[in-house]
């Protein structure tokens, strides 16, 4: 059971300093020590600093796990991520992690993949008694949402929604953004179109496609002048979509809409390098998301930027982390408008 | 205290099904139910499936938090990340998350930034009673390492080491890789050089620089023919380093070594677009890491690839997650060799 601090050790817990030891050294009450380590508690900063100094001297660390049994709060928020191949979700993860840490919470990360679907992830999430679940992936059964809600764990969908599920979330106006891109192409004189789409089960891709196609049809474009190819929400998928079209032997359309920036970037590189196309002279390209990568000088992609910081802040607000009593209204659904970013890949007017 | 599954709810825990209920329905012992939910336990797959079916019917979810108090295992592994601006660490996070999930563990993510240094992160890590800590960032005080070791929590450094700290880890042979790049440049006839460096406090950047410079000096290159500029381990930092050199008014060197691929990518785009340089005709560029992004057709970067999958697997093996009794040897230090990847940015021979 002995441990040493150099090389080898066993996993047994050693005897621990208690909050009473820290209180004695700092000259405060035990409850003040407890407050000093509870996110959002009211305590004077000088007192908190005195307690932290004493804790440091005594190597004291509060046991969040034990206290979560009495408070029913683990101070962990689960974030369930699909692929990280789309940098948008890397930026999302980073923003949530930083914002939650600032609020004294930690991020328990679940990445979907073989052997871990969303429902499996939610079952695991429940085992860890997280305070809330942020879900950025497409699928989630209504049964699983109910299982979380029955335990008082809010599920917030980030940048998607599940119709008739009782769970909505914070998202960008994807339909409206799709229409903006259609308008930009039309104003630039495009008459034939190609979409590179993402997850066919995800509302994000569906809504962007819907807005784009609706607007084109309204403007008199024929449905058969709008091609679509799957792009798997990745750079490689965007590149492969261009190859797929080239293999049909048909000419390239006037304009390509990558449903996510990362797919538009893959398409641009392939159009230029493999097919010798100039952008926008020979073919226009636009994306959606506004990731920093798409603004790099090689791309300067025309795109619709999602208000990510605002979406992250609103999601965290919806969680009511500091207010466990307040009932959560989880049937919110208020898409935030995206912003048109004019790069160099679509001629302006 | 009531909850409903539709819209609003309070955070109180509802009455829960116990493992005994599940055992009764599945016709097995309670200890079999417990094993079915314990990662690494021996249990027949058909029995496990029967128990999971029963658990699903009863909406049963084991409480990992409560059981961690008796087992001293939380089944969580902390991963402490610096910036996610370098895609290498995004790939690392994804690989760890997937591998740990497969072993029934979850990843508790800490991203460093304002208000969260490594020591602060370690203090928080201890509060969550994680089973182990994987650290991919540069700084960590010896005191904090000892604090973890005293509690039996192994700290594994990923792709770095802290000399004389008692904590080493799994890493690539960065000195050897730096030498490989120097050799490639020398063989291609380069006589003047520029390095774009990463975190000055990190052994990763230091070692790559050391190997590169040592090899050049051995070959008779004068130290003043090797310039260096900071690149902040990011695309933008790599781009800014090229601008910094241009502002000196001196000619560009024959070869640029981006200490990480992402910096080499930023340098390449800036050299081409802002300064009209052809690569490798006017100036050679090489990187380090072997991230998939650097193999895209616009870059085809010559680089040293880290054996990431092997490094992740060895790190997880070092944690001895399924073998709590076995003493950990944390003073391992065995750099794995990188592999030279010939792209199109350095002429070969």
CB contact under 8 A, A297 and B124: no
Phi, psi at A168, each rounded to 5°? -125, -175
pLDDT band for position B191 (cuts 50, 70, 90): very high
Record: contact A84-B90, CB cut-off 8 A? yes
Q: Which pLDDT belongs to residue B334?
A: 73
Q: Which two tokens stand for residue A61?
A: 């660390």
For position B168, what pLDDT does the model report? Answer: 67
Average pLDDT over residues B69-85: 78
Q: What is the number of residues in chain A?
A: 349
* CA within 13 Å, CB half, B60: 23
Over residues B327-343, mean pLDDT: 78
How are strands ordered across the β-sheet holding A226-230?
A: A226-230, A193-197, A255-258, A284-286
Task: Average the pLDDT over each of A37-46, A145-154, B205-214 and give the range with the smallest value.
Answer: A37-46
Angle at B130 between CA B124 and CA B131, to 5 degrees: 150
Q: Give the model's pLDDT for residue B85.
A: 87
Query: Do B245 and B194 form a contact (C-beta atoms < 8 A)?
Result: yes
State chain B's mean pLDDT as an integer. 85
Of B59, B65, B111, the CB nearest to A129: B65
- Other Cβ atoms less than 10 A from the Cβ of A249: the count is 6
Is B81's pLDDT higher than 70? yes
Q: Percent of chain A at pLDDT above 90?
A: 48
| A71 — pLDDT class (breaks 50, 70, 90) | low
Q: How far apart are CA A296 and CA B308, in angstroms?
A: 27
Three-state DSSP class for A341?
strand
Render pLDDT for A224-269 as a digit per residue (tens, 0 to 9): 999 999 999 999 999 999 999 999 999 999 999 999 999 999 999 9
With the C-alpha atoms ordered A230, A231, A233, A237, is the resulting torsion angle positive or negative?
positive
pLDDT of residue A288: 98
Closest CA to A4 of B147, B157, B315: B147
Query: Which two three-digit tokens encode residue B66?
Result: 């409560």
Residue A104 or residue A303, greater confidence: A303
pLDDT in tens, A191-215: 999 999 998 888 899 999 999 999 9
**pLDDT value of position A5:** 38
Cβ-based contacts of B93 with chain A (< 8 Å)? 84, 109
Virtual CA dihedral for B177, B178, B179, B183, nearest 10 degrees? 100
Q: Give which of A226, A228, A306, A229 is closest to A261, Cα–Cα.
A: A306
pLDDT above 50 for A77 = yes
CA-to-CA dists, residue B188 to B181, B185, B197, B280, B285, angstroms: 11, 5, 22, 10, 11
| A5 vs B90, B94, B146: nearest CB | B146
pLDDT score of B229 more than 90? yes
Per-residue pLDDT band at B139 (split at 50, 70, 90): low
Q: Is B218 helix (H, G, I), strand (E, B) or coil?
A: helix
Number of H helices, E strands in chain A: 12, 11
Burial class of B169 by CB neighbour count within 10 A (0 to 12, 13 to 18, 19+): buried
Q: What is the pLDDT of residue B3?
A: 37
Q: Report the DSSP pairing between strands A303-305 and A339-341.
A: antiparallel
Question: Under an 8 A CB cutoff, do B127 and A63 touch?
Answer: yes
Name the pairing type of β-strands B226-230 and A76-81.
Answer: unpaired
* pLDDT, averaged across chain A: 85
pLDDT at A10 over 50: no
Distance CA B111, CA A342 (A): 32
- Categorise residue B91: left if φ over 0, alpha if ψ from -120 to 50, beta otherwise: alpha
- Which residues in chain B have Cβ-Cβ distances shorter than 8 Å to A329? 7-8
- Residues A10-16 have a mean pLDDT of 42
| Residues of A in Cβ contact (< 8 Å) with B327 | 8-10
Please check the confidence at residue A119 and state whether its pLDDT lies above 70.
yes
**For A304-308, what is the mean pLDDT?**
96
CA distances from B156 to A115, B137, B161, B174 (A): 26, 11, 9, 18
State the pLDDT at residue B232.
92
Residue A254 has what pLDDT?
A: 98
Residue B39 pLDDT = 64
Looking at CA atoms only, how far is residue A289 from chain B in angstroms?
17
Please give the Cα distance from B71 to B63 (Å, whole number): 12
Report chain B's C-alpha Rg in angstroms.
Answer: 25
Q: Is there a cis peptide before residue A280, judged by omega within 30 degrees of 0?
A: yes
Residues of chain B with C-beta less than 8 angstroms from the C-beta of A128: 64-65, 76, 106
Segment B193-226, tens digit of pLDDT? 999 999 888 889 999 999 999 999 999 999 999 9
ipTM: 0.81
Confidence (pLDDT) at B162: 76
Res B347 pLDDT > 90: yes
What is the pLDDT, as a whole number, of residue A7?
34
- Distance, in Å, from the CA atom of B278 to the CA atom of B272, rounded to the nearest integer, reads 6
**pLDDT of B1 above 70:** no
pTM above 0.90, yes or no: no
What is the DSSP secondary-structure string of B114-162? TTB-HHHHHHHHHHTT-SEEEE-SS---HHHHHHHHHTT--EEEES--B
pLDDT in tens, B11-60: 333 456 778 888 888 889 888 887 777 766 778 888 888 887 887 777 77
pLDDT confidence band for B66 (50 / 70 / 90): low
Q: Comparing A119-123, A180-184, A344-348, B95-99, which segment has the lowest mean pLDDT?
A: A119-123
Rounded to 5 degrees, φ, ψ at B196 are -115, 115
Query: Which pLDDT score is estimated for B138?
Result: 61
Residues B282-322 have pLDDT tens digits of 999 999 999 999 999 999 999 999 999 999 998 888 887 76
Give the sheet arrangement for strand A155-158, strand by strand: A169-170, A155-158, A132-135, A76-81, A106-111, B106-111, B76-81, B132-135, B155-158, B169-170
Distance, CA of B295 to chain centre: 20
Beta strands in chain B (DSSP E): 76-81, 106-111, 132-135, 155-158, 169-170, 193-197, 226-230, 255-258, 284-286, 303-305, 339-341
């Amino acid at each position: 059971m002995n441990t040493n601090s150099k090389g080898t050790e066993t996993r047994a817990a050693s005897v621990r300093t208690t909050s009473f030891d820290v209180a004695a050294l700092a000259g405060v009450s035990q409850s003040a020590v407890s407050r000093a380590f509870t996110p959002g508690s009211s305590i004077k900063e000088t007192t908190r600093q005195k307690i932290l100094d004493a804790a440091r001297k005594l190597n004291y660390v509060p046991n969040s796990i034990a206290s979560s049994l009495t408070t029913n709060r683990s101070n962990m928020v689960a974030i369930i991520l699909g692929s990280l191949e789309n940098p948008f979700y890397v930026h999302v993860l980073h923003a949530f992690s930083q914002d939650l840490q600032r609020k004294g919470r930690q991020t328990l990360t679940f990445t979907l993949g073989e052997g871990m679907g969303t429902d499996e992830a939610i079952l695991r999430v429940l085992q860890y008694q997280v305070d809330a679940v942020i879900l950025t992936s497409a699928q989630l059964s209504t049964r699983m949402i109910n299982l979380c809600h029955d335990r008082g764990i809010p599920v917030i969908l980030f940048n998607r929604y599940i119709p008739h599920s009782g769970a909505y979330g914070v998202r960008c106006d994807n339909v409206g953004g799709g229409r903006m891109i259609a308008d930009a192409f039309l104003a630039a004189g495009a008459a034939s179109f190609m979409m590179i789409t993402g997850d066919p089960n995800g509302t994000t891709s569906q809504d962007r496609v819907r807005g784009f196609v609706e607007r084109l049809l309204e403007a008199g474009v024929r449905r058969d002048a709008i091609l679509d190819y799957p792009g798997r929400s990745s750079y490689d998928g965007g590149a492969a979509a261009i190859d797929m079209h080239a293999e049909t032997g048909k000419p390239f359309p006037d304009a390509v809409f990558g449903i996510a920036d990362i797919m538009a970037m893959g398409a641009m590189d392939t159009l230029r390098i493999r097919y010798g196309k100039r952008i926008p002279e020979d073919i226009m390209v636009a994306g959606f998301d506004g990731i920093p990568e798409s603004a790099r000088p090689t791309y300067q992609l025309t795109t619709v930027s999602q208000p990510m910081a605002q979406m992250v802040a609103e999601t965290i607000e919806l969680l009511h982390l500091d207010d466990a009593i307040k009932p959560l209204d989880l049937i919110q659904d208020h898409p935030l408008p995206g912003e048109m970013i004019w790069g160099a890949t679509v001629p302006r007017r």
